[in-house]
Amino acid sequence: MDYLKKYEEWITNPYFDEDTRKELLDLKDKENEIKERFFKDLEFGTGGLRGILGAGVNRMNLYTVRRATQGLANYIIKQGGEKKGVAIAYDSRRMSPEFALDSALCLAANGIKAYLFESLRPTPELSFTLRELGCIAGIVITASHNPPEYNGYKVYWEDGAQITSPKDLEIIHEVNAITDFSQAKTMTKEEATQQGLLNIIGEEIDQKYIEALKKLVINPITEEGKKLKIVYTPLHGSGNLPVRRILKELGFTNVYVVAEQELPDSEFSTVGYPNPEDPKVFDLAIKLAKEVDADIILATDPDADRLGIQVKNPQGQYVLFNGNMTGALIAEYVFSQKAKKGILPENAALIKTIVTGNISDQIAAHYNARLIEVLTGFKYIGEQIKRFEETGCNEFVFGYEESYGYLVGTHSRDKDAVVAVMALCEAAAYYMTQGISLYEQMKRIYQKYGYFKEDLISVTLKGIEGMEKIKEIMEGYRKNPPVTAGDYKVLKVRDYKANTITDMTTGKVSPTGLPLSDVLYFELNDDAWSAIRPSGTEPKIKFYFGVKGNSKEDAEAKLDKLMKDEVFKVS
Let me know: does 192 contact 108? Beta carbons within 8 Å: yes
Q: Say if residue 413 is exposed, middle or buried (CB neighbours under 10 Å; 0-12, 13-18, 19+).
A: buried
Does residue 400 form part of some domain? yes
307 and 345, same structural domain? Answer: no
pLDDT band at 258 (very low <50, low <70, confident <90, very high): very high
Query: For the residues 388-402, what does the mean pLDDT come to?
Result: 97
Q: What is the mean pLDDT of the chain?
A: 96
Taking CB atoms within 8 Å and a gap of at least 24, the contacts of 78-83 are: 78/174, 79/136, 81/136, 81/137, 81/158, 82/110, 82/111, 82/112, 82/113, 82/136, 83/113
CA atoms of 247 and 245, how far apart (whole Å)? 5
DSSP class of residue 61 equals S
56 and 171, same structural domain? Answer: yes
61 and 165, same structural domain? Answer: yes
Does residue 93 form part of some domain? yes
Query: For the residues 146-170, what does the mean pLDDT come to?
Result: 94
178 and 47, same structural domain? Answer: yes
CA atoms of 461 and 60, how far apart (whole Å)? 20
313 and 238, same structural domain? Answer: yes
Whether 164 has a pLDDT exceeding 80, the answer reads yes
Coil/strand/helix, residue 450: coil
Whether 537 has a pLDDT exceeding 80, the answer reads no
pLDDT attached to residue 150: 95
252 and 235, same structural domain? Answer: yes
Whether 492 has a pLDDT exceeding 80, the answer reads yes
Interhelix angle 62-78/167-176, nearest 10 degrees? 120
360 and 265, same structural domain? Answer: no
Whether 536 has a pLDDT exceeding 90, the answer reads no
Residue where a domain stops, chosen among 317, 335, 368: 317
pLDDT attached to residue 153: 97
CA atoms of 126 and 96, how far apart (whole Å)? 15
pLDDT attached to residue 1: 58
* pLDDT digit string, tens, across residues 353-377: 999 999 999 999 999 999 999 999 9
* pLDDT digit string, tens, across residues 186-225: 999 999 999 999 999 999 999 999 999 999 999 999 998 8
Query: For the residues 132-158, what does the mean pLDDT come to?
Result: 96
180 and 141, same structural domain? Answer: yes
DSSP class of residue 347 equals T
Query: For the residues 446-470, what does the mean pLDDT come to?
Result: 93
Query: What is the domain-level CATH number for residue 190?
Result: 3.40.120.10
196 and 63, same structural domain? Answer: yes
pLDDT attached to residue 539: 85
Domain containing 333: what range? 324-415
Query: For the residues 530-550, what does the mean pLDDT come to?
Result: 92
Alpha helices, H only, 218-317: 240-250, 283-292
Share of the chain above pLDDT 70, in %: 100
Spatial CB neighbours of 286, under 8 Å, sequence gap ≥ 6: 297, 310, 318
* pLDDT digit string, tens, across residues 295-319: 999 999 999 999 999 999 999 999 9
185 and 54, same structural domain? Answer: yes
Does residue 219 form part of some domain? no
Does residue 247 form part of some domain? yes
Q: Which of 330, 285, 323, 281 is nearest to 302 (CA)?
A: 281
Does residue 408 form part of some domain? yes
Instruction: Name the β-bridge partners of 408.
Output: 398
pLDDT attached to residue 296: 98
**Cα dist from 253 to 138, 223, 247, 486, whole Å:** 35, 10, 8, 48
pLDDT attached to residue 535: 86
Residue where a domain stops, chosen among 415, 438, 464: 415
Share of the chain above pLDDT 90, in %: 95
- Is the C-alpha dihedral spanning 139, 237, 247, 427 positive or negative? positive
* pLDDT digit string, tens, across residues 29-41: 999 999 999 999 9
Choice among 144, 360, 412, 530 that is catalytic: 144
> Which amino acid type is present at position 299?
A
Residue where a domain stops, chosen among 157, 176, 209: 209
pLDDT attached to residue 47: 77
Does residue 12 form part of some domain? no
Instruction: Name the β-bridge partners of 255.
Output: 230
Overall number of domains in the chain: 4
90 and 122, same structural domain? Answer: yes
Does residue 7 form part of some domain? no
- Is the C-alpha dihedral spanning 380, 408, 522, 474 positive or negative? positive
Whether 491 has a pLDDT exceeding 70, the answer reads yes
345 and 280, same structural domain? Answer: no
Does residue 44 form part of some domain? yes
Query: For the residues 548-568, what does the mean pLDDT come to?
Result: 96
- Catalytic residue check, 144: yes
Whether 546 has a pLDDT exceeding 80, the answer reads yes
